[in-house]
Structure 1
Amino acid sequence: MKQLILLMLISVFPGIVFANPFEKYNEELNQFAPLESSNFFRSSDNSISHLFKSGKFVPNLDSEEENTMEELPKYLNFSTLVSSKIVREKGEIIKSHTVKPKDTLLAISKQYKSDIHRIKKINGLKTDLIRSGEVLEIPVVTGNASVKKVVTQRIFINPVPDSRITSRFGRRSDPFNKYSRNFHSGLDMAAKVGTPVVASSDGEVVFTGNNGGYGNTVILLHSNGYKTVYAHCAKIVVEVGEKVKMGRVIAAVGRTGTATGAHLHFEVFKNGKLINPQTALNSYEKVITKLTSSEVAGL
């Protein structure tokens, strides 16, 4: 009898039985999404595979977040340079002098503005007597004893240069529940679907694939104790074990996993500990190169 009543209800009110149980939930989630272009998207592993065919980008006509790029480039042009300067250090250099007729040790010391006692010591002279044709080593104090080029450069670059930060590292309002606060473990960079994502620094690819709420994810291990995570990607173009240089395109911005709109979720670890990505992006290193005499002459 119960089965008969159920069949009658289905035939009379099919819309009630087969109504989408998440419809009301979706409406509530949309109210909680704080970003201008954000909606809550659920996606399975292959939910956006239709966007890419044979490496070509096919715009999603249902989305305003299109990217007209047809193919991901292999590298993006960038500069890590913060500053560059030439540093000249005062010190002592050795010059050679061939003794001429009528040369005296005192005259030579005055010519080079050198100390006569230092000249005698370096050349093993016990007296001021010198012979014509003899080659002496003359210590000379100069402001260019050592010329170095000091370059200050970034250790990391922004993985999505054409982006805007929509959520920073630390505690924030839950984008899915305005009455709750949670800890945000990375930096969110909003950009159109398909925007290139680059390796923030030289490293090795140690993970690619779907990573739950992170969606399509790439993880890079760097030689300086850092590890970087790139999440919610639409497309991944590198493989595990691959060595990549800073600026190499590794993926495309997407909204896979649990994402509020199209963006890259970027995380940084230092010696296994999660850190603020902006700390890494604001880190610099100095590269000091000693210039040769020919390089100094060309300055």
Structure 2
Amino acid sequence: MRGMGFHLIFASIFSLTTIHRCLGAQNMSLCNEAERLSLFKFKESVYDESGMLSSWVGSDCCQWSGVHCDAATGSVVSLRLTGQNIWNNYYFPESNPADEDSSTENEDNYPVGQDCYLISKELDSSLAELRNLTYLDLSGNDFGKSPIPEFIGSLKWLSYLNLSNAGFSGIIPSHIGNLSKLEILDLSARNQYLWADDMAWVFSLSLLKHLNLSGVDLIRAQNIDMVLYMIPSLVELSLSRCSLNNARLGPYLNLSRLLPNIQYLDLSKNFFQGPF
């Protein structure tokens, strides 16, 4: 009996030790320290009145809201900080396009929900340190009409990039063409603060399936035919409110060459007249 009691005590101690180790392992931080510091720098660069980043405290950034890490390495692979900015996301009813030119405010035209978004004069370069990002969503925030920074083009593993309605302005940087793994790209906006002078950069996005440039001014864009013919993987293409007209787009429309896999094409609210 003595021997059996000893074994029971030993087994109990072993079990408690094992449980303690397991619980300790669960509490260990998986977060990459350099990337955690980068996220802290980003947090310090924005005005966050609504508390979107209120969970960004402590040592384990993998537990922060909007942050997702690789389980094996602790590297940040996804950053989803979708804002709700009723100014940048102002909604114009599709049933009455003329309302787009109206200065009369109508509360019924605003999206449902309250303002909840980040504000900054620019997108801080600290995010460039998140070198393993595959998913980046900063839509609906307000980056003060600053340009889309060129460092976005260094996030070479991105397959999803959404900067829509985020208060960016100026020319779309050609460095986005470096994101050869992109499958979804959304740069749409309700205003036309963004514009393009050359669309040749899309030629490198050979995996792209969804492209939304609605609200981007393309009236001066060269090589616009590349958008229509040079991305064979494209399934959805939105070019609404891009200031396109017959003279700019008409010569490039050749139905025999149009993207073979396209299922959705939006050319609404441009300045076309008569047939193509």
TM-score, normalised on structure 2? 0.24
State the structure with bigger RCO (CA 8 A, min sep 6), 1 or 2: 1
Report the structure, 1 or 2, having the larger helix content: 2
The answer to which structure has the higher strand fraction is 1
